[in-house]
Chain A
């Protein structure tokens, strides 16, 4: 852990921004009738924050359906993300993607992804590009405990290991794939145990502790950048809310369990660790929280005031080059 004061404040700012984005953005999106595709990552902030603090803009990440935190930690503008959630033309995806497809290629953000596990080989491919072109970029595949049972993860870990690619497989084990507990669905004690099957380091960390995630990530990123190949990190974390806004979490987990994890809150853990060291004050962190809250107010306003896409943009960007006439829906309908 070699973070200076600014580095530490940046960690907290990232976590606070994610938390406020989730707490404000998801209900606001719901109020605009578009809640079907949004998944809150509140509670999981330490994982993308600790990892992405080790990355540069030209490093790549592949993300999941629960990907707002990954986007923010990788540097995507929360105002533009809010616009995307509201289906506005000013979103990074121009309103074509929504929560489950937010991408920003200028930030190395290869997209949140609506198919569980589907972004994992994309990150492997980004790692391959880095290797073939002789660059020092790394790629991170974020995935959950649910995706850890997908065949494509296992194929991708094997492939990245065979080719010694600069890839980090980062499992955010939040305990549940929808309502199915990971202790039921994952055959090993830890997802990180899978690493030994692919001849790579498997690191198990407390995903509520941003410093632990930061350190494990630093180790894996260093290994990737030096050409030694991939790593698997499992960060044990917790989502404070349901899979989406449509499930009631207490139908599959206890209130006591939720309270236990909320008692281990990653932002509070940061405060408990850093403030006693004397260099950073509670007031400074309160100020960061207030700024994050204000940013969301601004983001909601920005998104609401942004134009909706023109309906005929439906036809744009399906291809780089394709005859429009081929896209019409039948002889009596025009494009």
Chain B
């Protein structure tokens, strides 16, 4: 089992702590940064009973912020995603840097209009008159028995939309550095947190830092096949690579980190050396990040390929509830191992 993707630094913290630390540091750094969402603090309106912070978010990523920054900058919202996501976009276009949390990406349907027709298009429609430095934090990922409306990994939908950027951190280190980059960036961005990564730990500097947007990273060097992982699937790809190494197969593992823009240069460079590509994507396969990356690699480095660009994804089904079926749904290490062997005729 892969224990870490990040190998430099001195202090090990969890993904959830890294998100929290980043939000705290960015709000200290820039007083125009605000955060809003359902249960961001919890217990709103009960200050007279001594309640400040009922739980700090269902995954504790926003715990403690309200004590430090107050109710003007840490805003519990009613269950009104269209209004508060829209308001965050409006605030971001009039002088604030608003971060809004959509509790699970599955809920995007109720506020998609604000994201697509306002956030993504305002700058363009207005002829460049406005910047929309808006960050939407949301959660993805199956594997928890949460069934079809709390488990999807809908990043490709956002990647499809010109005007939006998208970030998929894979560990505490990339979560902290990329969230800071999102908040400081002047474009609207969706930051996808995989629920299965919150407890994962990695080495994370205490001081604030920013990782570049739109850049992938290589977490394992290899010569035989390039595995591109997205979010938690980077760990799965790396686990598969560890297994395959025992059989003398050297996989290169790339951590995508950004679903818009996509770092094709990084992927192409790797494929030119390994001549094979498999994208490991927890999302469903049709019109997915996996199909997009395979298509572009086929267009651009076809002559270097020794095998068809391939995908290991979830099936084209909703996420099922029962563990028996959910395990079958997940693109796991064994599926990746088998896919690599198939490409190598092993």
Contacts and interface: CB of A to CB of B under 8 A. Distances in A.
B227 to A, nearest CB: 22
A280 interface: no
A110 B129 CA distance: 10
Interface string B144-160: 00000000000000000
B93 A133 contact: no
B87 A159 contact: yes
B129 A122 contact: no
Max count, chain A CB within 10 A of own CB: residue among B93, B118, B127, B261: B127
A198 to B, nearest CB: 11
Contacts of A131: 72
B34 interface: yes
Contact of A122 (B77, B89, B128, B262): B89
A128 B129 contact: no
Nearest to A104: B129
B84 A159 contact: yes
B134 to A, nearest CB: 9
Nearest to A326: B261
Nearest to A126: B94
Given A122-B90, A152-B113, A95 B96 contact: no
B126 to A, nearest CB: 4
A97 B83 contact: no
Interface in A112-162: 113-115, 118-126, 128-133, 139, 151-152, 155-156, 158-159, 162
A317 B187 CA distance: 10
Contact of B123 (A129, A159, A320): A320
A96 B86 contact: no
Given A129-B91, A321-B185, A111 B126 contact: yes
Contacts of B90: 62, 110, 121-126, 128-129, 139
A112 B174 CA distance: 39
A320 B134 CA distance: 12
A168 to B, nearest CB: 14
B301 to A, nearest CB: 10
Contact of A94 (B83, B92, B95, B128): B128
Interface string A294-335: 000000000000000000000011111111011100110000
A92 B127 contact: yes
Contacts, number: 173
Contacts of A158: 78, 80, 83
B130 interface: yes
B187 A95 contact: no
Contacts of B88: 125
Given A96-B124, A118-B118, A122-B86, A320 B80 contact: no
B113 A319 contact: no
Contacts of A252: none
A182 to B, nearest CB: 22
B125 A96 contact: yes
Interface in B55-100: 72-73, 75, 77-78, 80-96, 98
B82 A121 contact: yes
A42 to B, nearest CB: 24
B322 interface: no
B326 interface: no
Contacts of B143: none
Contacts of B77: 159
B207 interface: no
B163 A125 contact: no
B131 interface: yes
A318 B186 CA distance: 12
Contacts of A48: none
Interface string A87-115: 00001111111000101110000110111
A151 B96 contact: no
A60 interface: yes
A318 B83 contact: no
A319 B187 contact: yes
Nearest to A309: B127
B165 to A, nearest CB: 7
B2 interface: no
Given A94-B128, A96-B125, A158-B83, A125 B113 contact: no
A322 B127 contact: no
A159 B91 contact: no
Contact of B86 (A94, A104, A152, A330): A152
A158 B125 CA distance: 29
Contact of A97 (B73, B95, B127): B127
B89 A331 contact: no
Contact of A101 (B72, B80, B125, B128): B125
A133 B32 CA distance: 8
Contacts of B122: 103, 111
Nearest to A60: B94
A322 B72 contact: no
B308 interface: no
Contacts of B129: 92-93, 103-105
A46 B130 CA distance: 29
B231 interface: no
Contacts of B73: 132
A73 to B, nearest CB: 19
Given A319-B163, A320-B187, A125 B98 contact: yes
A285 B287 CA distance: 61
8 contacts: A60-B94, A125-B91, A129-B96, A132-B91, A152-B82, A162-B78, A318-B124, A331-B300
Interface of A: 60, 62, 91-97, 101, 103-105, 110-111, 113-115, 118-126, 128-133, 139, 151-152, 155-156, 158-159, 162-163, 316-323, 325-327, 330-331
Give the 9 A-B CB pairs with smallest separation, nearest first.
A125-B90, A121-B86, A94-B127, A155-B83, A122-B90, A155-B80, A317-B128, A331-B299, A93-B127
Given A124-B87, A128-B90, A320-B186, 5 more contacts: A60-B94, A115-B113, A159-B78, A317-B128, A331-B296
